[in-house]
A and B are shown apart, each in its own frame.
Chain A
């Protein structure tokens, strides 16, 4: 009998043809995905495998807790700042350190800038090519493209026919030279691509504009964080002094820096409002019929919340990005989330290549253990070094299975927006309603791959607006005479207790992020990170609940199993980042995505 019901409501059938995608491209890190499709090419079983070993916890042990942020920000190049922020928050929590208001505002602006930046880069440079066909853009009429651009976003200045013709010629030259560069590995003749050539050309043009524009956002982090592109962080606040009357680059933040940041914030809002969001709506309009990919989004979503309005208050009421958990699709009830409660967040390993003393039990991250145990199930095809087909009945991923009160959860922009909507957050509700109305779609459309992609764009817009809020708030605070940016009263380890434990959390661009640490004799005794992709990329658990990636692929129709653009589309909508959810690379990373149909 090959059909299995999972407790979280999915019917798995592995009797059909097996399709293996390894590695999944345009993500950070190494990931493999296997699905079974039925005779109509509909996915009936999905298996997501993190193919690298996770070892961050191991390298932090014994280090100075004040340095942990610097290690965590080197894990990968994508969400450097979020890890750093989460790490300093965890240490501050452990040592009971209060940070000044200005530090809170600056950290929030940096975090919001990262959100806006990451979402923008993800949409155009990692995800757009799942919807947009650059080869098809060569067929576009530049004049019609110009008209389209002026219609969807009249305020965006770059819209002349000549401008689009230039871009098209440049693209043509690039394609004809045979080196597709970032556009290689695409399935450009696949019928899953539905955009007219003009929309393709417009989107490719904005791909290039976004590439150019994103450098501006980085400057915010550079000014506040100093060293670019790896900003400095500080336990107790931020490592930049405020000296409004100062001049030049010496002496900290002055009026010139503040004005520059203020002006960049306005540009970011403009770009998102005039380019990103209009593109999103235009593209979505052509894919309205493609309703796949909801997975756990309509059932179980989790957000820790972030962006504390007042410093040092991490209660749900003070967090501008919402916190809460929704279970079994009941939007009427949003559960409070407590990262300290040993009964809430737990990680399980029955299907992960780790071992616990008691393998069936889940462990709260403060008691977390990271002990590798690589073994394959009896029904594996191939060998340990060349797995042709994984056996999901046994251990099959380097990602642990985190659960919230036993439930597999989705995290990320869509989870945050569903929680915000369920809580009646005014701004989030308005954004969602506007989007659904514009596209003439019901609320259920939100629970889809496209909904996930849309939530990310709306959140970028929200984040840019909130940067303005914190900038104004900080300027008012400075005017009122408070220029403090750091509290170093407890910098000296002599002031610390012999033992302490803390938790720091944030909403990383790709979802809820938590760092749990224990400090013993001024050194890190245990450090556990549960990152967003651990939640989303989770394998099955003891009860057989499938994870968010797996659930999202279920029942999707694949046009051509040998060109799984639909699989990539849905996986990319999560913005997976496996560099920190798993750590060690596999023996030989292949250059190209390998797709095998068995």
Chain B
């Protein structure tokens, strides 16, 4: 499957992976969504929102000779940094640090594709360094969102270099009247109620009831005061004095 017959264009997969619900973790999915909205691609190109599908994506990857992946990657660089990785190094980057559940999954998808003898001939990873992922239900942070357009430009330039005729659409495809807000970043963001209305941490009836007392004390274990690691995301609420 890895050899392209000379008279046939290569099978291309443009894939976005990540979890939309985890703020910058949604970069890959939002980027591929935007790609679909803005660009028209020929028949040999499949544009796919892979979400967190993991092993279910093996078949898609096996069928691809040329694979372009959008994802949020922890490169250890300043937030919003866009970095392109090509070829053999790609799986290593996908496995550097497990930013989310799907990443070991995707590294394994590549390993499985390889074991089955169908590894993409060419691989490009367009990754952005996330700023915030610990905001469940949140959207992309501005620095990350600002990288969608540059990421698309990189993908389009790369595909064109490979001879893939990507064209800008005159108009985006018509959206389904019954489609959900999550599939549209603007609605996903605008319909998110503020934290004062829908507390992002817990049940507001409890938070406002006065029964709510912050049980936040550094634990004194082995005589050493320690910082609490697992629920640091509660800090802004504690500092915001929500107890009244």
Interface of A toward B, CB cutoff 8 Å: 28-29, 53, 55-64, 66-67, 69-71, 74-78, 80, 121, 125, 170-171, 174, 179, 181-182, 208, 211-212, 214-215, 218, 227-230, 232, 234, 239, 355-357, 368-376, 380, 382-385, 488, 491, 523, 526, 579, 583-587, 589, 591
Is A53 in contact with B230, judged by CB distance below 8 angstroms? yes
Interface hub of A29, A74, A78, A526 (most chain B Cβ within 10 A): A74
Total contacts A-B at CB 8 Å: 188
Residue of A nearest to B137 (CB): A59
Number of interface residues of B (CB under 8 A): 69
Is B203 in contact with A371, judged by CB distance below 8 angstroms? yes
- CB < 8 Å neighbour of B231 from A234, A374, A380: A374
Residues of B within 8 A of A62 (CB): 192-193, 197-198
Is A585 in contact with B100, judged by CB distance below 8 angstroms? yes
Is B228 in contact with A374, judged by CB distance below 8 angstroms? yes
Is A211 in contact with B21, judged by CB distance below 8 angstroms? no
Interface of B toward A, CB cutoff 8 Å: 19-21, 48-59, 95, 98, 100-102, 104-105, 108, 111-112, 114-117, 134, 136-137, 176, 178-183, 191-193, 197-207, 209, 211-212, 215, 219, 221-222, 224, 226-231, 233-234
Residues of A within 8 A of B52 (CB): 74, 76-77, 579
Is B178 in contact with A239, judged by CB distance below 8 angstroms? yes
Tell me the bound Cα distance from A370 to B114 in angstroms.
Answer: 43
- CB < 8 Å neighbour of A385 from B95, B192, B227: B227
Tell me the bound Cα distance from A74 to B138 in angstroms.
Answer: 13
Tell me the bound Cα distance from A370 to B50 in angstroms.
Answer: 30
Residue of B nearest to A375 (CB): B215
Interface hub of A179, A218, A370, A374 (most chain B Cβ within 10 A): A374
Q: Distance in Å from the Cβ of A515 to the closest Cβ of chain B?
A: 16
Assess A380 versus B221: contact at CB under 8 Å? Given A77-B52, A181-B114, A229-B51: yes
Is A64 in contact with B181, judged by CB distance below 8 angstroms? yes
Tell me the bound Cα distance from A228 to B36 in angstroms.
Answer: 14
Is A232 in contact with B226, judged by CB distance below 8 angstroms? no
Residues of B within 8 A of A66 (CB): 180
Residues of A within 8 A of B21 (CB): 59, 71, 74-75
Q: Distance in Å from the Cβ of B137 to the closest Cβ of chain A?
A: 3
Assess A385 versus B178: contact at CB under 8 Å? Given A357-B211, A371-B203: no
Interface pairs (11), CB distance under 8 Å: A70-B181, A74-B182, A181-B112, A208-B115, A369-B206, A372-B234, A374-B230, A374-B231, A583-B136, A584-B233, A589-B98
Q: Distance in Å from the Cβ of A409 to the closest Cβ of chain B?
A: 25
Residue of B nearest to A179 (CB): B111
- CB < 8 Å neighbour of A182 from B111, B191, B228: B111
Residue of B nearest to A233 (CB): B180
Is B180 in contact with A69, judged by CB distance below 8 angstroms? yes
Sample of 7 more A-B contacts, CB < 8 Å, known A66-B180, A170-B115: A56-B136, A76-B101, A77-B102, A208-B115, A211-B116, A584-B136, A591-B104
Is B211 in contact with A385, judged by CB distance below 8 angstroms? no
Residue of B nearest to A216 (CB): B59
State the main secondary structure of chain A at its contact with B. Answer: loop
Is A67 in contact with B205, judged by CB distance below 8 angstroms? no
Tell me the bound Cα distance from A28 to B234 in angstroms.
Answer: 25
Is B229 in contact with A384, judged by CB distance below 8 angstroms? yes
Assess A67 versus B230: contact at CB under 8 Å? Given A61-B198, A77-B52: no
Tell me the bound Cα distance from A171 to B117 in angstroms.
Answer: 11
Is B182 in contact with A71, judged by CB distance below 8 angstroms? yes
Tell me the bound Cα distance from A275 to B51 in angstroms.
Answer: 30
Q: Distance in Å from the Cβ of A412 to the closest Cβ of chain B?
A: 20
Is B56 in contact with A218, judged by CB distance below 8 angstroms? yes
Tell me the bound Cα distance from A356 to B59 in angstroms.
Answer: 46
Residues of A within 8 A of B212 (CB): 371
Assess A77 versus B53: contact at CB under 8 Å? Given A58-B201, A355-B215: yes
Tell me the bound Cα distance from A318 to B203 in angstroms.
Answer: 36
Is A232 in contact with B179, judged by CB distance below 8 angstroms? yes
Residues of B within 8 A of A125 (CB): 55
Is B116 in contact with A208, judged by CB distance below 8 angstroms? yes
- CB < 8 Å neighbour of A64 from B49, B51, B191, B203: B191
Residues of B within 8 A of A71 (CB): 21, 137, 180, 182
Residue of B nearest to A184 (CB): B111
Assess A586 versus B180: contact at CB under 8 Å? Given A369-B203, A591-B98: no
Is A371 in contact with B202, judged by CB distance below 8 angstroms? yes
Is B111 in contact with A181, judged by CB distance below 8 angstroms? yes
Residue of A nearest to B197 (CB): A62
Tell me the bound Cα distance from A375 to B219 in angstroms.
Answer: 8
Is B205 in contact with A369, judged by CB distance below 8 angstroms? yes
Residues of A within 8 A of B226 (CB): 383-385
Tell me the bound Cα distance from A589 to B74 in angstroms.
Answer: 13
Tell me the bound Cα distance from A80 to B49 in angstroms.
Answer: 14
Interface hub of A179, A211, A370, A583 (most chain B Cβ within 10 A): A211
- CB < 8 Å neighbour of B50 from A229, A239, A375: A229
Is B136 in contact with A55, judged by CB distance below 8 angstroms? yes
Residues of A within 8 A of B116 (CB): 208, 211-212
